[in-house]
Chains A and B, each alone.
Chain A
Amino acid sequence: MILYQSCYYKAFTMSLSTADVQKVARLARLAMNNTEIEAARTQLSGIFELIEEMQAVDTSGIEPMSHAQDLSQRLREDRVTETDQRELFQSIAPQVEAGLYLVPQVIE
């Protein structure tokens, strides 16, 4: 519970640093140069000011609502429903060869 509180405190008082934005860009797999990082830092800080309004609300004992419906997922029989459309799907891929998607070499 103490951990939880300190977490709020951190969120409440922090404005984003350049390093934070760089880390997020890397996690999001978005290449950004220094100018773009700085611009993003300013705009994201403004947006987080708006979002911080949430922190003042007491939500103890409230169950999180993850979805618009409080229903459990449907289950179905485990059987093949898709037909083989490999050629069609690969016809719109950036680079394919012999039925394989081509990417830069990963393993030496």
Chain B
Amino acid sequence: MLNYSLTQLGAALRAKKISSVELTQLYLDRIAAHNPVLNAYLTVDAKTSLTQAAAADALLAQGRALPLTGIPIAQKDIFCAKGWRTTCGSKMLSDFIAPYDAHVVEQFNKAGAINLGKTNMDEFAMGSSNETSYFGPVKNPWNHNAVPGGSSGGAASAVAARLCAAATGTDTGGSIRQPAALCGITGIKPTYGTVSRYGMIAFASSLDQAGPMAKSAEDCALMLNVMAGFDERDSTSLLREKEDYTRDLNRPLQGLRIGLPREFFAEGLSNDVAGRVQDAIAEYKKLGAVVIDISLPNSNLAVPVYYVLAPAEASSNLSRFDGVRYGYRAPEYTDLADMYEKSRAQGFGEEVKRRIMIGTYVLSHGYYDAYYLQAQKIRRLIAQDFTDAFKQCDVIMGPTSPSTAFNLGDKGDDPVQMYLSDIYTIAVNLAGLPGMSIPCGFGDPGANGPAMPAGLQIIGNYFDEARMLNAAHQYQLATDWHSKQPNGI
């Protein structure tokens, strides 16, 4: 049952083969057994989860179940969930009990899904390895010496280790796609504005977007059906008709035009990941797709532009943490300024402080034009590259990450090396486009470790999630990489 799709789980629940309480208990037992090693969950509240499950069972008994009713999912700890500790991976919020539900949490509650708990993450979603979490790193279930990726590393680890049926994540520069790739699961970051950011703790508001992480594209489509939708409480939420993201899953791929950006296959990409991506492209050709060589000439500028814009927005967003209304306050201080400075210095971790400093600097007097404005102009050039590319192709494919999962501690001392692990994902956020990652095989085994999963990135045009999910689903019907699971779980 652990490998059931969400559709199969829903059918089993409706057929009374298992109750939601039993299914929730099954996952809670698995979390109790595996979480001490994996550290994928920060907060579990069995009583609340089981109460939700009992309510779901009542709905199921009355025949009033929706597709996800009774199914246990995990929420990234960036989403406020009323009454739940919501930390965002930070000491700053280590005792914060959310007083309200994020829109995403509300949507899952309305759908009758069960909240199994809150998943670990890089502090304030700033990181690509989950090592910046105040609560310790998450382990990759394929190799406990390896990182799960980040920032949604807890979610990716939990899905891969079957500690939930599916999970939520957020993606500001690759935080859904990169951990999905490194843990061998499927994740999609929708078009900016598709999922409400209400109650989702802000990092870089013009880039942040929530999305599902699951075992397959089909499951992601069902999750996205719940998550997406207009919400007036997010001023950037898009007023669009409700979509069924499963509608195109079964379309044949005959004639699908796949653009391969030559910049994504250049220096910096490891040979094994390049090989697996090429294998996946060969499979797509067998399925009837045609491949077109394209160029995204400004893609090399995505990382520099991102590391101006995201820290700039973060320095502004994180100014709310002042030790006055909520969050950590230093135990000793002399005056108000000292209280602010000590509370923030003690409450934030190193990476968060680094990004606040970068952001403060690039926005400060005398540097604004050279950094912030210049970055915004290049952001337009990067977005324009995609607009031009989509005149020739339907989807863009390439690697999600330049390598398979690296080991814990390997990039810890060098922020620049860490930033470059998001080289293929960041441009998608800058443009506001949808992007996803699906498992496409395994890299070469390391000196001391097993072969680790590799991810294929699929980038779509604005609002083309259904087509991307279709392309991913057809690949997953023809291959079985997505159904592989780590040993010992």
Contacts and interface: CB of A to CB of B under 8 A. Distances in A.
B341 A31 contact: yes
A24 B325 CA distance: 24
Contacts, number: 174
Given A21-B357, A59-B381, A69 B193 contact: yes
B235 A73 contact: yes
B481 interface: no
Given A54-B378, A73-B235, A104-B334, 16 more contacts: A21-B357, A24-B357, A28-B315, A28-B360, A29-B340, A47-B419, A51-B307, A53-B304, A59-B374, A62-B381, A64-B380, A65-B380, A74-B239, A94-B328, A104-B338, A106-B335
A7 B481 CA distance: 52
Interface string B60-103: 00000000000000000000000000000000000111010000
Nearest to B369: A7
A35 B96 CA distance: 31
B380 A50 contact: no
A25 B308 CA distance: 17
B193 A53 contact: no
A78 to B, nearest CB: 14
A15 B345 CA distance: 24
Closest CB pairs A-B (n = 6): A68-B432, A64-B376, A68-B192, A94-B329, A59-B377, A31-B341
A53 B235 contact: no
A44 B358 contact: yes
Interface of A: 4, 7-8, 10-11, 16, 20-21, 23-25, 27-32, 40, 43-44, 46-47, 49-55, 57, 59, 62-69, 73-74, 76, 85, 88-89, 91-95, 101, 103-106
Contacts of A63: 377, 380
A10 B96 contact: no
Given A28-B357, A28-B360, A4 B336 contact: no
A10 to B, nearest CB: 7
A24 to B, nearest CB: 5
A29 B364 CA distance: 14
B357 to A, nearest CB: 5
Interface of B: 95-97, 99, 192-193, 206-207, 232, 235-236, 238-239, 298, 300-301, 303-305, 307-308, 315, 319, 322-329, 333-342, 344-345, 348, 353-354, 356-358, 360-362, 364, 366-367, 369-371, 373-381, 383, 414-416, 419, 429-432
B415 A47 contact: yes
B329 A24 contact: no
B339 A103 contact: yes
A74 B337 CA distance: 36
A5 to B, nearest CB: 10
Contact of B356 (A30, A55, A66, A105): A30
Nearest to A52: B304
Nearest to B413: A43
Contact of B236 (A50, A65, A69): A69
12 contacts: A11-B370, A23-B364, A27-B360, A44-B357, A44-B361, A62-B378, A62-B380, A63-B380, A65-B376, A65-B383, A92-B96, A94-B327
Contacts of A52: 304
A73 B356 CA distance: 26
Nearest to B354: A43
A63 to B, nearest CB: 6
B383 to A, nearest CB: 6
Given A29-B337, A101-B325, A68 B207 contact: yes
A30 B377 contact: no
A90 to B, nearest CB: 8
Contacts of B341: 29-31
Nearest to A68: B432
Nearest to A26: B341
A39 B433 CA distance: 36
A40 B360 CA distance: 13
B307 A65 contact: no
Contacts of A106: 335-336
B326 A92 contact: yes
B344 A93 contact: no
Given A8-B370, A50-B304, A53-B304, A30 B235 contact: no
B357 A40 contact: yes
Given A30-B345, A69-B192, A104-B335, A47 B377 contact: no
A16 B298 CA distance: 27
B37 to A, nearest CB: 31
Contacts of A30: 341, 344-345, 348, 353, 356-357
Contact of B416 (A46, A67, A74): A46
Contact of B358 (A47, A54, A88, A105): A47
Contacts of A24: 357, 360-361, 364
Given A44-B361, A106-B336, A10 B348 contact: no
Contacts of A40: 353-354, 357
A92 B329 CA distance: 12
B390 to A, nearest CB: 16
B99 A92 contact: yes
A2 to B, nearest CB: 13
A65 B375 CA distance: 9
Given A67-B206, A69-B192, A89-B325, A54 B337 contact: no
